[in-house]
Amino acid sequence: MRNFTVADLLDKPGTGSEAERTHVALKFRERSLSYGELEDRVARLAAGLRGAGFREGERVGVLLYNRVEWVELFFAVAKLGGVVVPINYLTTAEEMAFVLDDAEAGWVVSEEDLWEIADGARRLGGERSYVAVGEPQDGATPYEALLAEERLEAGAGGPEDLFLLQYTSGTTGRPKGAMHSHATVLWNSYHQLLDFELGAGDVVLGIPALCWAAGFHDFALAAFMAGGTFVLNPSTNFDPQAFAQTVERERVTHTLLVPTVLKRVVGSGVLGDADLSSLRTVVTGGEPVPPESLRAFEAALPSSQLIQVFGMSEFPTMMLWLDPADAATRLGAAGKACSIARVRVVDEAGEDVAAGEIGEIVCRSPACTLGYFGKPEETEALWREGWMHSGDLASVDEDGFIFVAGRSKDMFISGGLNVYPAEIERVLGELPGVVEAAVVGVPSEQWGEVGKAFVVVEPGASVTPQWLGEQARGRLAGFKVPRQWELRTEPLPRTTSGKLTKKELGASG
């Protein structure tokens, strides 16, 4: 008798009612699948994959836009005891080939609109089995042909078996595959039922791409766990008007909007044009949220709570969270630990820092990664004395609220004093006319290093380096104020997962 795995999230019979099996599990564009229908397609896909030679423990690279087949494949691989390797659709063939080789993936699933990338990776070498979703492709098995007549009833593997390799964005070098078992994935989803009050009657709208950590692991799997409905948004061309229409039509209760998308939604005016009264919870995070976005959202949707979160591909993806009541008085805070995590801010000796001092965020949780695939040294550096070391710097106030100061590799030293760019970026981002900002350390003959700020300004805004410096000096110690300024209108460079990357801005170190 097998233990509980990710595949069991769709299994609603037994003591459950017929209503649970017929309840809508997944919606995408015009398609709608009940729990019974989705579970049946997953069981037949799993049988077809096994018949095609897929074996327990094998790894499959998935290069797909958001679509029903992505969800089906995720659960079918879980049922087979295999390992899912999500690949960002913004990747290049060379980057994809690296991930496939690093993960030792023997299978690849892609679709017609992304086949050029998948085929490019195939030409770079490696013997693998390919599956094509949509239009047939040379040398690939059609996806629909794998949907066997029979079902795979008994799944393989157990909760402690490897199930997911979630590759990091690689802001400091080559991406690494964070290893997750069925158990870590399930724990990461379970706490969301408690912390964000998800139930069978709720409807989750999935905006992030399923290849990102936030895609499946922020609300989506929790919705399936609760027996609710998951409405999947297309991966590309996000439209605020379409977002509002979907929330109104589907009576969405929960969703996640990263800060850049939240700012677009707030600025579009759609929040006041549609009936969004069903929307109880909007989660945002990944970078600081501009205060004006918070205020505008609360004014437009007073019945909905906007919750800020902070997490990692290494999990928990919502490690820290800040509710609206605290957000009003704790500007810039990342929040406190979620219900299944213990979080500390420690110095180099592993001791808790005093209030206001900078240290590293460490976490202990049943959702945390097992380590990095094929990288024992990096895993040893990640896990020390029972705590996962995030590499993120932060301070904590007297009441236990954590304020993220940035990555440890981002810190620079000016005149012998440590400077944390995230603190400066938060101040600059709150100024009128500023869209976003990034600060890096650059060489200085006098000070060793000084800050250089790259500031994206709104078109037509009367923002100058002199004005920015004056505003910063009013809120920051003098040694923290950037000495160099570069104003621009084009967005800052980001990784394929949307994280700001400073290597292209000339960061030192």
Report pLDDT for 329.
83
The pLDDT score that the predictor gives to residue 173 is 59
pLDDT for res 417: 76
| Integer CA distances (angstroms), 13 to 17, 35, 145, in order | 7, 10, 27
Which of residues 407, 422, 445 is at a domain's end? 407
DSSP 8: G
- Separation between Cα atoms, residue 21 and residue 13, nearest integer Å: 7
Structure-block tokens of residue 130: 């390919």
Do 264 and 317 belong to one domain? yes
Q: Residue 113's domain is classified under what CATH number?
A: 3.40.50.12780
Q: What range defines the domain where residue 123 resides?
A: 6-22+31-158
The reported pLDDT for the residue numbered 1 is 34
Q: Which helix (H) or strand (E) holds 62?
A: strand 59-63
Last residue within a domain, chosen from 407, 422, 455: 407
Q: Are residues 334 and 475 in the same domain?
A: no
Q: Which pLDDT belongs to residue 170? A: 55
Q: Is residue 167 part of a domain?
A: no
pLDDT of 31 reads 97
End-to-end CA distance of the chain: 53
Where b means 16+ CB within 10 Å and e means fewer, 37-47 reads ebbbbbbbbbb
The Cα 370–Cα 383 span in angstroms is: 9
Q: Which two tokens mark 65?
A: 């836009």
Tell me what pLDDT residue 498 has.
67
Q: Which long-range contacts (CB under 8 A, 24 or more apart) does 261-265 make?
A: 261/207, 262/289, 262/293, 262/297, 263/290, 263/293, 264/238, 264/240, 265/240
Q: Are residues 322 and 459 in the same domain?
A: no
Predicted model pTM: 0.85
**Spatial contact of 296 and 435, defined as CB atoms under 8 Å apart:** no
Residue 97 backbone dihedrals phi, psi, to 5 degrees: -60, -40
Q: Residue 509 has what pLDDT?
A: 36
pLDDT value for 507: 47
Low-confidence ranges of the chain (pLDDT < 70): 1-2, 12-17, 169-173, 287-288, 495-498, 506-509
3-state secondary structure 103-144: HCCCEEEEEHHHHHHHHHHHHCCCCCEEEEECCCCCCCEEHH
pLDDT of residue 508: 41
* Number of domains the chain is built from: 3
Burial class (CB in 10 A: 0-12, 13-18, 19+), 69: buried
User: What pLDDT sits at residue 169?
Assistant: 64
